[in-house]
Structure 1
Amino acid sequence: MKARLVFLGRLEELAGLPFEDLAASAPLDWTGVLGWLGDRHSAELAAAVDGEKVKVALNGALVADKRGLVVADGDEIAFLPPVSGG
C-alpha cells in the first residue's frame, strides 16, 4: 500500500519536505499514521499533526474526524495547519 502525505505551512518545516510517500503492508488507521510519522520524522511532527488545530484532507476533501481516518492504497493525505495572516 502506498499513499502520499502532504505537509503544509509549519508542518513542512517540521517534516523537512513538502510531501512524502508512505509505504505500508496494509491500510493504516490514524494511530498507524502517527506512529509512522513519529518513527520516520519526529514525535514533535506527530504531536503537531495530531493537535486539534491541524485539519486533515483525504483526497482533497476535509475529514470531519481524523481519528477515524483509514489510509488506503493511492490516497493523498494533506495536513493543514491553522493559518494566520494580516
Structure 2
Amino acid sequence: MTITVRLKFFASLREKLGEGESLDLSAGSTVAAAREALRSRGGVHAESLAPGRAVRSALNQKMCAESAVLADGDELAFFPPVTGG
C-alpha cells in the first residue's frame, strides 16, 4: 500500500527545494524514510537534507522526531533551526 504525503519546505530549504510537493511512500514509512527518499534524488536534495545537517521537521504542524510514522494525507514540513536575536 502506498501513502501520499504533502511536503512543505521553509526558509533556506524553500529557496533551494521550492515551496513543496507531494511524495509517495510505502505505508508505515517514517519521517526519516521521507527524508531519505528526498536525499536519494541527489543534487540539491542530497546536499540540503544530508545526514548531520540541522533540519527540523513538523508533522501536521507539530514538531516531531524522525521516527514519527506517516499516514496518507499528512503534511510534513522541513525547515532549518530558527534562532532568535
* TM-score category, normalised to shorter length: 0.7 to 0.9
* Residue 39 of structure 1: aligned partner: 40
Contact 1:37 1:45 in 2 (8 A): no
Superposition RMSD on alpha carbons, in Å? 2.3
Report the Cα offset of residue 22 of structure 1. Answer: 0.6
* Residue 60 of structure 2: aligned partner: 59
Q: Write out per-residue CA displacement over residues 34-68 of structure 1, whole angstroms, 9 at most, x where no aligned residue.
A: 221112353112217x63x43211101111xx231
Report the Cα offset of residue 79 of structure 1. Answer: 1.2
Identity, in percent, stands at 38
SS at match of 1:70: coil
Distance 1:33 1:60 in 2: 16
Pair 1:10 & 2:9 matched: no
TM-score, length-scaled by structure 1 = 0.74
Q: Which amino acid aligns with 1:70?
A: V
Report the Cα offset of residue 84 of structure 1. Answer: 5.1
Task: List runs of 5+ in structure 1 lacking aligned partners.
Answer: none
Contact 1:58 1:77 in 2 (8 A): yes
Task: List runs of 5+ in structure 2 lacking aligned partners.
Answer: none
More helix by share: 1
